[in-house]
Structure formats: C-alpha cells, structure tokens
Structure 1
Amino acid sequence: MRTVGLFSGIGGLELGLERAGASTELLCEYWDPAAAILRKRFDAEVVGDIRKVASIPAVDVVTAGFPCTDLSQVGRTAGIDGSESGLVREALRLIERTPPRWVVLENVPNMLSLGGGAAMAFIVDWFDDRGWNWAYRTVDSQHFGLRQRRRRVLLVASRTEDPRGVLFADEAGLPTTRRGHSAYGFYWTEGNRGVGWGDGVTPTLKGGSKLGIASPPAVWRVGADAGRAITRPSVRAGERLQGFRAGWTDLGAKDGIRWKMVGNAVSVPVATWIGRGLVEPRSPVDVARKPLDVGRRWPAAASSVSGLREEWSLSERPLAIRPQQTLARLLTDHGADPLSLNATRGFTTRLVASNLRRRPDFVDDLRAHIEHMSSV
C-alpha cells in the first residue's frame, strides 16, 4: 500500500499507515519546522507549498489532514472559504488529476456544524459529483490507548471500494464511567465557562490558543506534594499523548514550536486503525441507520455508497484499547513542570469566581500550589 501525504504536519497519519504496512512515497508540508521533522523521520521526498505541486504519483492512498485554522472553535471560524482550511481544494485538485484507490481526510468536529456544516457539504458534494463513495465518522483518540481526549472527523472515500468497511467495521459502544483516577487534565487558560476537565486524560492538545500561543494543558495529580500536584506535561509527554515516541520532534526547535507541531498532529493509533481497514476492509457492523436528510445537521457518522446517503448510529469509540500507563505515570516517565505561579493564580481566581462545578480538594491543591510557588 503506497501513500502520499498532503498537509502532513509531523507525519501522524503517515506514521500510522506505515505501522499498518504502508510505504510513504511523497509528503507535502508548507511549515519549515514540521517539514524538517518529515525529512528526518521518513524515507520519502518532502515538498512544500501545495499550491505549487502540479501532480502527485499514482498511489493507493492519499491522505490530507488539511488545516483546521478556519474551522476550529479556537480558530478564525472563517469556514471552508478561509485562506487556510480552503486549501483542501488544492488536495482535491491533485486527487482528481491522479485518483488513488483511497482518500483519507481528517479535521475537527466543528466542521460538521460551523456555517451549517458548509465544509462537510462542500467536501462530500465534491465526491458525489464525481461518482465516489464516501463515509465519515467522528472518533475520540482516548479510546485508542492514549491518555488524551481528542475528537476528530475522519472521512474515507473511494471510486471503487466501500469505505464503510474501513470506518464502520468496529464498534465498542459507549464506555462505562470509572472513578478514582490518580490524575485529571484541565485547561489552565480557561476557568470562566469551562475547564476542559478530563478524568484520567488530558483535554485535547492544541496547536495554539485564540491568541496563536501554543499552550499545553495542565494536570492535577491527586495526592502529590505541593509543587508537583499542578503541572504541565513536557513536550516529550505530549508526543506520547499523541502516540509518537518521545523525542519525535526533538530537532532543536523551541518548546513552543514543538508544542504547536504536536498539537496540530493526527493521533498515530487512530491512523493505524484506518490503515488496517484500508489494507483489509470488512463488513460494517449491524447498527441502526436511516436516510441522511439534506439540510439537517450533519450527524456523527454518515456514508454515501452508489449515491445513497445514510446516517449511522455509531459511537465515537470504535475500539476500547486501555492505555498501558496512567496519566500520572506517563508524566513521571516523560516529564512535567510545575504550572507557573501567574498561570495558577489566574486560573484559580477565574474558577472560584465562576459557577462551574469543581472538587473542593482540587481547589485546595491549587491554593497549596500557589503558596508553594510564591515561596520558591
């Protein structure tokens, strides 16, 4: 299975496909720091600006985790006509010129609702107009053995194959609630309307905030000593939270640049699951489905095969892989730094002044952390 990766970032999709047995023929990435990672980690040609790429090789799979900048809730929300997310048209141009057997697209769930789901409508209409079959599904990385809650929409399309056999062949159902975690993730940049609370997981790693600043989440480690209870994961821990090996982006760039690269990446185990489905598609699971009505809100999972559009009742948990490490252990093994005094003080002030529900012992540890950081 030979692949071309467009908007490759640091190669999450491509690395996952290689773990499923694929070989990478060409990578396209505009941002120099990420392109340097690709040249170091892959045995493939790396090209830059997709707008200057005239054509791509004839391969089995073309992937495109196209920019979410104009589609994300923390982005500019300009939509599919934005200057960055709109570059998906360049990927479609190359796909139309040299059609592969499979196409894999990835982006944020906000594309299903922003502007009435205009981005998803544009993409699936493009495939429908050219006689392609397509299927998409929203999945969460935390169900693939990672300690990160990360919801993403994955779309698979083919002119000759049934993509439902890739995305809809696994269904683990809704998870059971487990209590008593040793660590909880949260966004220290929030505190007014939400905190991104994660039971045993971090919230989604982001490439940047609304101000364009890369800001890793924080983690509360229950029962840890003052100064160690409220921390920020190291970049190496962030790489592991995405399924890369620790040090994947360590080529001398500053931590802020590395965090942006990691936050923009595709979770590797999710891509591996996709790759295995591409190698050996199976029958989709037997779940409720119904006609997909045009003009309604896009559901979490849908397909179009031979022109018949259907909505599928599938969860965001196709697999139920338990992480090998707890979140607390991952930070112990790969590093974490105390959250700064100013960051902790600002978050605590916002949280206490809000109406958000919070555990009293969490607030106690925040205040103990403030006291400790004030004395060092």
Structure 2
Amino acid sequence: MEACSLFSGIGGFEVGLAAAGVHTVLMCENDDLAQSILKLRFPTTRLTSDIRHLKALPSCDIVTAGWPCQDLSQAGRTAGIAGSRSGLVTEVFRLLERKRKPEFVLLENVAFALQLAGGAAIRLVTQEFNRLGYRWAYRVLDSRNFGLPQRRRRVFILASLSADPSAILFEGASFSPNVPDENADKFGFYWTEGNTGLGWSIDAVPPLKGGSSLSIPSPPAIWHMKSSKFTKPGIGDAERMQGFPLGWTDTKCGVASRKRWKLVGNAVSVPVVKWIADRLQVQFLDELSALDEFRVGSKRSHNAASGGPNRCETRYAFPSEGPSHGNIGRLSEFVSTDSEDLSMRAASGFLSRIERSNLKTHPAFIPQLRDYVIA
C-alpha cells in the first residue's frame, strides 16, 4: 500500500504507517521546522508546503490528514469548522475530487469536535464523504489504550470506497477497559492551569499540547507522591509519550525546545495509527453483531458512529476507546530520560490558583505542593 499524507506535522501518520508496511509517497506540511524534520526523517519522500497550492494527489491507496485543530479544541479558539485553520479540511475533499479516488481516507482531530457547535465539523466531514461515495466510520481513541502514558482522546474518521470501515475501526469497542489505579504513585497535571482546569490524570499525563493560551511551551507536570517531587517531562520524554523515537525532533540545528514542544504536542500518536494501518491490511475482523447494545439516539452523547451514501447514520457509546488487546500506558512504568524539577515560580503560581479554586485532586496533593513551595 502507498499513502499520501496531508497536514503531516512531524510525521506521526507516516511513522505509524511505515511500521505497518505502508509507504508514504507524498507529504504536505507548511511549518518550516516540521518540514526540516520530515526532510531529515523521510529524505526520499516528496514534500510540498501548502495544501492550497497542491493541484492533485499522486496515485495512492490511502490519504491521511490530521487537519488543524486550533478552531475546534477546548484549549483553542473554538471558532469551529468555519475557522481559518480548521476550515482547511475542505482542501482535503477538493483533492479527492478525482476519477480514480484512493480506497481509504483517514482523518484525525480532537474529540471535542463531536460536541463543538453540535458536532458541525464532523457533520461536514461525513457529508462530504457521502457526496464522494465513501462509507465512513469514526471513533474516539485514547492514546493511553495503546501503551502510551498519556491521556489523549482523539476522533479518528476512516472512509472507504468498498470496505466497511466500522469493521476496521470498531475492533475492541465492547472491551471492558482497565480503570486507572486510584492508589497510583504518580499523577499528571497542568501547572499552567489551576483556576478552572487542571488536566488531572492518574498514572498518566494529560494530553500533550503545543502551547498555552499565553503562547508559551506547555509541558505538563508530574507529582511523585511517594517522593514528594514535582517534575516536568523533557522534550525527549514528550517524543516518547507520543510514540516517536527519542530525539525525533532534534535536527541538530540548535532549535529551542519550546518550538519542538509545539510540534510534538500537535502530533498524531504513532501507535494508534499503526493499529489502524495494520487492520487496513487484514480485512476484516467483524464483530459488529455484538455492538447493537451500544447504539444511542442522535441526541445522546456518543463516541463513535458509522454511515455512508444511502445509509442511515448509526451512533454508539462504546465503553472502550482502544483495541481489545490494548496495553494501558502508565507513568509508573515510564522511565524518564530528561525530566526536570518544576520551578519554584511555576509551583508557587499554580498553588495560589488551585487553593482558590474548587478543583478536586488527591487529598495529599495540595499539602505536598505547599511543602514543596515553602522548602
């Protein structure tokens, strides 16, 4: 199989596809630093910079695109699908307007796209797939269920001309996921928050992100309860928490870590893409007959759906956001390579905010944080 990757970022789709034996023949990315990483890591693959200037796609079996989420994210501007960044997904459908279409299309975005403006972004995407003759399915998948110690929920939308994408994407949907251990030793949180948000995560970090509302690097923090330590993962840790090899974003050109953080935070988690790509090539393990009990009405909260031309949309609320053989990623099993202590300034500012808030954490968290600041 061969792939074309649009909005490539630092190559999350491409690394996952390559691990499943899929070769990428075209990449499209307009960020200069991301381009330098792609050129270094994929020197023989054609790279273009602006999807709006791309006239046509080369022949390929699958098109992937993690289109910009800034207008859809809860942490972003929430301008919706009409926003200047997230609206670029329409360029994907322009490029699919061709006589010989690729068999598969795989898109990714933030899970909040299902709620923002009544799910307008997802509705636009599925309507376009219907118009182009594709069957489609989408499902929220959490990177933590794929062995990464990061709680990262993203909606993956898979479309196909001849296959049933739900048979590929819904594997493991009825699986009973493991519950995070309340007695864990390590907890992730965002020290840049503390008034109305926290990102509190048990034995995991909250979703890695490119930056905060102040446009500064935004690594999460980790509370080590037994040792009373407060640390931040380094850029190497962040790469590995997304499934990339250590040093993936290091171009040896002295690029500041804050710029690398932005790219890693916006990337697609590699193991999730590999799982989907593996299933594309083993068509198809069909367990859909066991999923009827998870169907929900159109107005109820859901985390998956399927449909297509002349097919009614069916929505589901699945108990699992990962595969049946999922390996839960845990901070307690993650060995850091370049973490550093949370600074006193950062800890003090966070403490003052969370003490005034009603946010819930572990009973020992604020007392230990207070002792950390005082010491």
Shift of 1:307: 2.6
Shift of 1:329: 5.3
- SS of alignment partner, residue 305 of structure 2: strand
Q: CA offsets per residue over residues 256-309 of structure 1, 9 Å max, x none?
A: 100000000000000011101111132134212688766x36621000145322
Contact 1:133 1:307 in 2 (8 A): no
Contact 1:143 1:321 in 2 (8 A): yes
Q: Which residue of 1 aligns with 2:7?
A: 7
Counterpart mapping for 1:76-87 below 5 A: 76-87=77-88
Pairing partner for 1:183 from 158, 180, 186: 186
Q: Which residue of 2 aligns with 1:169?
A: 171
Q: Does 1:215 align with 2:221?
A: no
Q: CA offsets per residue over residues 21-43 of structure 1, 9 Å max, x none?
A: 10110100000101111111123
Shift of 1:122: 0.7
CA 1:358–1:176 in structure 2 vs 1: closer, same or farther (change >3 Å)?
Answer: closer
- Could you tell me the TM-score, scaled by structure 2's length? 0.92
- SS of alignment partner, residue 220 of structure 1: strand
Q: Which residue of 1 aligns with 2:70?
A: 69
Distance (Å, rounded) in 2 between the aligned partners of 1:298 and 1:177: 22
Pairing partner for 2:323 from 306, 314, 318: 318
Q: Does 1:327 align with 2:331?
A: yes
CA 1:117–1:193 in structure 2 vs 1: closer, same or farther (change >3 Å)?
Answer: same
CA 1:322–1:37 in structure 2 vs 1: closer, same or farther (change >3 Å)?
Answer: same
Shift of 1:241: 0.6
Shift of 1:155: 0.3
Residue identity (%): 44
Shift of 1:250: 0.8
Q: Structure 1 unaligned runs (5+)?
A: none
Shift of 1:174: 3.3
Distance (Å, rounded) in 2 between the aligned partners of 1:248 and 1:291: 41
Shift of 1:4: 0.6
Counterpart mapping for 1:199-278 below 5 A: 199-224=202-227, 229-251=229-251, 252-278=254-280
Distance (Å, rounded) in 1 between the aligned partners of 2:220 and 2:357: 19
Distance (Å, rounded) in 1 between the aligned partners of 2:245 and 2:48: 24
Distance (Å, rounded) in 2 between the aligned partners of 1:136 and 1:184: 30
Which has the higher mean CA deviation after the structures are superposed, 184-193 or 144-153?
184-193
Counterpart mapping for 1:1-376 below 5 A: 1-42=1-42, 43-97=44-98, 99-171=101-173, 172-224=175-227, 229-251=229-251, 252-282=254-284, 283-285=286-288, 286-288=290-292, 296=299, 299-308=302-311, 309-314=313-318, 315-322=320-327, 326-328=330-332, 330=334, 332-372=335-375
Q: CA offsets per residue over residues 226-264 of structure 1, 9 Å max, x none?
A: xxx101100000011101111100113111100000000
Contact 2:234 2:337 in 1 (8 A): yes
- SS of alignment partner, residue 211 of structure 1: coil
Residue identity in the other structure for 2:220: P
* Count of matched residue pairs: 366
Contact 2:235 2:260 in 1 (8 A): yes
Contact 2:172 2:325 in 1 (8 A): no
- SS of alignment partner, residue 141 of structure 2: strand
Distance (Å, rounded) in 1 between the aligned partners of 2:193 and 2:184: 22
CA 1:201–1:292 in structure 2 vs 1: closer, same or farther (change >3 Å)?
Answer: closer
Residue identity in the other structure for 1:368: D
Distance (Å, rounded) in 2 between the aligned partners of 1:234 and 1:41: 21
Distance (Å, rounded) in 1 between the aligned partners of 2:136 and 2:112: 19
Contact 2:129 2:308 in 1 (8 A): no
Shift of 1:10: 0.5
Shift of 1:353: 1.7
Residue identity in the other structure for 2:322: R
- Could you tell me the TM-score, scaled by structure 1's length? 0.92
Residue identity in the other structure for 1:158: S
Contact 1:144 1:270 in 2 (8 A): yes
Aligned-residue CA RMSD (Å):
1.9
- SS of alignment partner, residue 96 of structure 1: coil
Contact 1:165 1:277 in 2 (8 A): no
Shift of 1:175: 2.3
Distance (Å, rounded) in 1 between the aligned partners of 2:89 and 2:178: 34
Distance (Å, rounded) in 2 between the aligned partners of 1:9 and 1:30: 8
Shift of 1:323: 5.2
Distance (Å, rounded) in 2 between the aligned partners of 1:133 and 1:18: 25
